[in-house]
Each structure stands twice: as structure tokens, then as C-alpha cells.
A = this chain, B = another copy of it.
């Protein structure tokens, strides 16, 4: 069992310090975050599948691939350092090297990440001077400031932590994330940085993170766009002295707490989606295969027609069924049933039980569930999406004009 820690963040975990400051990349708001663990951490990471990858992402990916332990994560917002060619790669290396020098650790122990405008040169000298300022501010309660400094168009800080009581003792997991919709002038980027004091072997840590990310960050859609800078990093410093082994009960506790952290973060990204006013959970059941369940969940989560209908609180079940139908999943439409929360809308054989008023009342809420049972098998999954609003269009059409 695990308990939520009040005002939790990456620094709710012993041994982790953090800070967030303004260094001059944005106009006014905080734009530089540093997370630091004196104890070297085993690190796992998942990265964007976009063919266009930002320089800092490639560098962080290498740190993890090389199997090195890491001690720091340096993140700037306001500039993604993406599509910036060799200059951008060089700037990212500088960012990593300067951070290492000033912390007196190795460059290979520093992960770096950037988020913001793409295609513009990173003002890397501002990060150099910013480092002189941020390092003295590192503190064991700086997690929320770091969470603030990685925000771009986010309207809310995304941060939480849990304590897990195992027979051997107590461990913690904490995390901060960002992601909302678009970044000036660019794309939906999501970042997540998670800390734990458990001791976990590298391959197991990677496998666990992958599983948690697959059931959370990889099941959300604000607008179907994959960023050039997406990354989620999990750092384990082992300071609790408790080691988590595969095939143990503790592992299941650890995994379930990590999934809770990543799922809450993922949901907070969707509900803070640009222009979004509603958070919708899409439960897919009765699919022949896991892939089919995902195809259907993803297609509904990405459908502009479903998302505009949700915005208008219009119980437009035909759009949901059609989105499922165009997903590529194998099922017989006549077997499908649909409900909103516990209210049945459509039963098999196209039997309509829709009560427009009750349905619209549910869709008017800020959070609700769309349940679709394909009636074709036993596989299931859950996705999350938000509504598509005029505000979304406005934000993204008029951002630079």
C-alpha cells in the first residue's frame, strides 16, 4: 500500500535536491530547473518516437544507454533546442559539461532536457550564468520550484509523491512533469522526472518504467501530436537501503505506486491540455487482442469529432462507434455496447437506450468515463483525452501573431 505525500515532488525522496530559477530564456517566468542527487542513481528513461529528435534528448538517451549512473538533470524551458543542427548539438553538450563542472561531477552523470520553441538557437550562455545561480539554491524542498521552471503553456504545476510501506521498510517515489498542448511556436511536449530512494537494478528499473509509461503517458492524447523532446526519466539513488527484486511482492507494490505516479501525471497533463475543459477516461473492453484495444482507445481519444461532441456535451455515440470502426481493430459493430459512467447508451444489436438528458448531464461534468465494450474478446485498456475547444484553435492559430 502507498500513501500520497502532501505537496509531494521529486525532493520528497531522501537524497534529492532541486531548484528552479529564471535565467533569461523566457521573458519573465522561471525557465531553468536542476535536480541533483549526491548519491549516484541508476537511471531509466523513455523517449519520443518522433524521427525528429532534439539534441538534448539524444544526449540524455546516450547517458542511459551507456549504463552510467547519473546524479543530475538540468532542464530549461522556453527553447527546445530542436531542429538546430550541429550548433544545437554543440550547445547541448556545453549545457551538460558546464553543469558537470560546476557540480564537480562527470558530464556523463548529467542528463539534460529542453522544452519550448523549436528551430531557434538556444541562448546557452544564459544557462551558463544561470548555473552559477541555481546550484547554491539546490534544496530538499525545491521540487515544486523545479516543477514550475519546466512549465511552458501549462497552467498548473504537475508534481506528486508517495510513500510505500514494505515489510523491509519505507521507500518513496516522487515526480514532476510538464505538458499541456503546444509550446510557442510549437508542439505538445511532455517531460517527466521521477525520483526514488529504492535500490533497483538498471534493467529492472528500465522495464518497470517502460511498463508504467505504457499504461499512462502512452495512453493520453491532447491532439495526437508527438513532440521532438518528450522524455520521462526515473532516477533511483538507493538511499533507503531497500532493494527491489523482480518476482517479489515488493516489486508489485513498487510497480503499482510508480504506475499511480505516472498515471496521475498523465491525467494532469490531459486535463491541463490546451483549451481543455474536460478530462475523459476511455475504457475499452471486449477486444480480441491488446493491440485492438489500444487501436480503439487511441482512435476515440484522437477523434476531432468525438472531442468536439464532448465539448458540446452532445451524446453523439455514433461518432464513438465510427471512431472505433476506423481504428483498424477487428470487431463486429453489432456486438458493441457503449455507456457513459454507469448510464447505458447503446446495447448490442444497435439497441439504443440513450436518454439524451441524462447523457448530456454526464457529459457536462468536468470528469467522466466513456466505456466501450467491443463484445469480441477479453482484452481491455484505458486511455485519457480532453475536449477540443475553440480556445485550442485560438491558442494555436494566433500564438505568434
- Chain A interface (Cβ within 8 Å of chain B)? 49-52, 82-86, 88, 117-119, 182, 185-188, 223-228, 302-305, 308-309, 311-314, 316-319, 321-327, 329-331, 333-334, 349-352, 360, 388-390, 392-394, 396-401
Query: Are the CB atoms of B308 and A52 closer together than 8 Å?
Result: no
Query: Are the CB atoms of B304 and A225 closer together than 8 Å?
Result: yes
Q: Which chain B positions have C-beta within 8 A of A312?
A: 396-401
**Distance in Å: Cβ of A349 to nearest Cβ of chain B:** 6
Q: Which chain B positions have C-beta within 8 A of A88?
A: 350
Query: Are the CB atoms of B393 and A311 closer together than 8 Å?
Result: yes
Query: Are the CB atoms of A322 and B390 closer together than 8 Å?
Result: no
Query: Are the CB atoms of A225 and B185 closer together than 8 Å?
Result: no
List the B residue with the shortest CB-CB distance to A304.
B223
What 8 A-B pairs have minimum CB-CB distances, sorted nearest first? A312-B397, A52-B325, A308-B396, A85-B350, A51-B325, A226-B326, A118-B318, A390-B390
Total copies of this chain within the assembly? 2
Query: Are the CB atoms of B350 and A52 closer together than 8 Å?
Result: no
Q: How far is the CA of A223 from the CA of B304 in the complex (A)?
A: 7
Q: How far is the CA of A322 from the CA of B186 in the complex (A)?
A: 9
Query: Are the CB atoms of B305 and A304 closer together than 8 Å?
Result: no
Q: How far is the CA of A88 from the CA of B388 in the complex (A)?
A: 32
For A52, A86, A333, which residue has the most chain B Cβ atoms within 10 angstroms?
Answer: A52
List the B residue with the shortest CB-CB distance to A326.
B226
A326 touching B83 in the complex, CB below 8 Å, given contacts A186-B319, A308-B393: no
Query: Are the CB atoms of A397 and B311 closer together than 8 Å?
Result: yes
Q: Which chain B positions have C-beta within 8 A of A397?
A: 308-309, 311-312, 314, 388-389
A393 touching B396 in the complex, CB below 8 Å, given contacts A186-B318, A316-B186, A324-B51: no
Please tell me which one of the listed residues B304, B317, B324, B333 contacts residue A396 in the complex, with CB atoms under 8 A apart: B304
Q: How far is the CA of A52 from the CA of B335 in the complex (A)?
A: 11
Q: Which chain B positions have C-beta within 8 A of A85?
A: 334, 349-351
List the B residue with the shortest CB-CB distance to A332.
B51
A182 touching B311 in the complex, CB below 8 Å, given contacts A322-B187, A333-B51, A393-B389: no
Query: Are the CB atoms of B309 and A350 closer together than 8 Å?
Result: no
**Distance in Å: Cβ of A379 to nearest Cβ of chain B:** 17
Please tell me which one of the listed residues B49, B82, B324 contacts residue A318 in the complex, with CB atoms under 8 A apart: B82
Query: Are the CB atoms of A224 and B304 closer together than 8 Å?
Result: yes
- Please give 16 more A-B residue pairs, beta carbons under 8 A apart, in addition to A182-B305, A185-B318, A390-B393: A50-B326, A51-B327, A83-B318, A83-B333, A83-B350, A85-B349, A86-B349, A119-B317, A119-B318, A119-B352, A224-B302, A225-B305, A225-B323, A227-B322, A304-B304, A316-B400
